[in-house]
A and B are shown apart, each in its own frame.
Chain A
């Protein structure tokens, strides 16, 4: 309904004088004007009595006519009414109980469409009215457990920044103190003894000592890599708890230790001719 909305000038001026913003003052003044209008039409605005829903319904309808606000449910209307008086909107348990009791009484008292059913269900055929008494937590269904989360900024970003600074500092300081090796010019006719691969391939070179190059250099690395990639598809155990994953832990740890031992053996315990040496006796043949 596109009618001119009146503004209660007195309330408006008062609020402006009290330092409220123009927007808030206007809204409150509008509401005040509407209250006055409705009061003049004889509509009840204050907190209702427990028995209220029975009586004023026809009267209000007649007075407000096509007023859209009047279409609201009983609960909505009286709640906004309460907002005028005591604390905001929410009904006290006593009020709510009284409301439900009144509603049930009204239905059970003969106003209902099927009086016969009310005896069958003990006067509680309109069970949805009871929702007013159910606490919200009883209605919401919480499926998954809520994650305990924190804001990326500042928590994660700060941690990452500290980590970044630490890595930069460690790398810079270490680089200032320790020089990278640089040997003589490459010479294809002068084979150093021993010739060693970079440390991350020392495991392979060590295996080369015991196995045919095709097995140690091609087959086994391929099997390792494919096995590593296929692991998640072979491990059907859904648990992530260490105590439930003893087999997986054992297999992985075995390969990890196996690989570490091979790498260390090749790096530190192999000397001239790629023969076994004790680094504390014969010295170290290892360059990073």
Chain B
């Protein structure tokens, strides 16, 4: 009769092998175990991928909810939530319009009516998008009122304004994709203004719409902008934004 191994034996066997040790770094709490000491708290931060984002210690006042209102973090998290829900939606959506092939609009109806969790995920994607525009905007206001754009953080403020602009563009390009009356005419109003750009207004509008007016080409173009180009650019600026927060001395303040 073989002896049933104790939990300690199992833990030892699971952790004491070449695979476990290759996954977790030498100082990792998953190798050494964790006791609530200053040393292990530091090691927990250092041997984690989040060490790219967070230092071992942060200023105490930055933890106060009434200082940051968690707005920057919420914006970032909403971006992740939008990526996840967006990937789900991509499985069921074709950016195709035009007589006889109104797939974009049909796919939206399918998402809302027949696909399991389709309506919920689409709702989440839309509401989270609106919320992200709002939180990014409020984050900017918060940073302004705390004077957090002052040296050495001027450049990070500039990056932040670019991120706000990219967020608006992401929201706006996504607005067209359902290809309903609401989408078409909201975008028509927005893009008609671009035609008034001095000197090459017509050319700007033509490039953005993929034609002289909004049509199936615009839908495909904005789809690619929405799911690939803009998130890609936003991610790069986001990386710079986070990197500069740490390089510029962490969170600003206290006032």
Q: Please list the residues of chain A having a beta carbon within 8 angstroms of any beta carbon in chain B.
A: 147-157, 159-160, 163-164, 167-168, 171-172, 174-176, 178-188, 190-192, 195-201, 204-205, 208, 212-214, 216-218, 225, 228-229, 231-233, 235, 238-242, 245, 248-249, 252, 256, 287-288
Of the candidates A157, A181, A185, A197, the one whose C-beta lies within 8 Å of that of B189 is A197
Interface secondary structure of B, over-half rule: helix
Q: Tally B residues with Cβ within 8 Å of A.
A: 89
Q: Is the CB of B145 within 8 A of A157?
A: no
Beyond A192-B185, A232-B150, 6 extra complex contacts between A and B, CB < 8 Å: A148-B61, A156-B54, A160-B73, A182-B108, A228-B161, A232-B149
Interface secondary structure of A, over-half rule: helix
CA distance A154 to B48 in the complex (A): 13
| Interface membership of B239, Cβ < 8 A | no
Question: Given A214-B198, A231-B157, A167–B81 Cβ distance below 8 Å?
Answer: yes
For B58, the chain A residues whose CB sits under 8 A away are 149-150, 152, 155-156
Q: Is the CB of B172 within 8 A of A198?
A: yes
Q: Is the CB of B147 within 8 A of A245?
A: yes
For A148, the chain B residues whose CB sits under 8 A away are 59-61
| Interface membership of B16, Cβ < 8 A | no
Query: Can you identify 7 A-B contacts, CB atoms within 8 angstroms?
Result: A156-B63, A174-B127, A175-B127, A190-B181, A192-B182, A204-B193, A252-B144
Q: Is the CB of A149 within 8 A of B123?
A: no
CA distance A184 to B178 in the complex (A): 10
Q: Is the CB of B181 within 8 A of A192?
A: yes
CA distance A173 to B67 in the complex (A): 27
Q: Please list the residues of chain B having a beta carbon within 8 angstroms of any beta carbon in chain A.
A: 38, 41-42, 44-45, 48, 50, 54-63, 65, 70, 73-74, 77-78, 81, 97, 102, 105, 108-109, 112, 119-120, 122-128, 130-131, 133, 137, 141, 144-151, 153-154, 157-158, 161-162, 165, 168, 171-172, 175, 178-186, 188-190, 192-198, 201, 213-215, 252-253, 255
Q: Is the CB of A149 within 8 A of B60?
A: yes
Q: Is the CB of A184 within 8 A of B180?
A: yes
| A214 CB to nearest chain B CB (Å) | 4
For A214, the chain B residues whose CB sits under 8 A away are 196-198
CA distance A231 to B131 in the complex (A): 26
CA distance A240 to B142 in the complex (A): 12
Question: Given A174-B127, A218-B198, A225-B165, A182–B180 Cβ distance below 8 Å?
Answer: yes
Q: Is the CB of A231 within 8 A of B149?
A: yes
For A229, the chain B residues whose CB sits under 8 A away are 157-158, 161-162
Of the candidates A160, A180, A183, A232, the one whose C-beta lies within 8 Å of that of B181 is A183
Q: Is the CB of B196 within 8 A of A185?
A: no
Question: Given A157-B50, A185-B179, A179–B119 Cβ distance below 8 Å?
Answer: yes
Question: Given A152-B57, A178-B123, A205–B214 Cβ distance below 8 Å?
Answer: no
Q: Is the CB of B196 within 8 A of A217?
A: yes
Q: Is the CB of A188 within 8 A of B193?
A: no
Look across to chain A and name the residue whose beta carbon is closest to the beta carbon of B137. A200
Question: Given A182-B108, A183-B182, A239–B81 Cβ distance below 8 Å?
Answer: no
For A181, the chain B residues whose CB sits under 8 A away are 182
CA distance A286 to B54 in the complex (A): 41
Q: Is the CB of B44 within 8 A of A153?
A: yes
For A187, the chain B residues whose CB sits under 8 A away are 181, 184
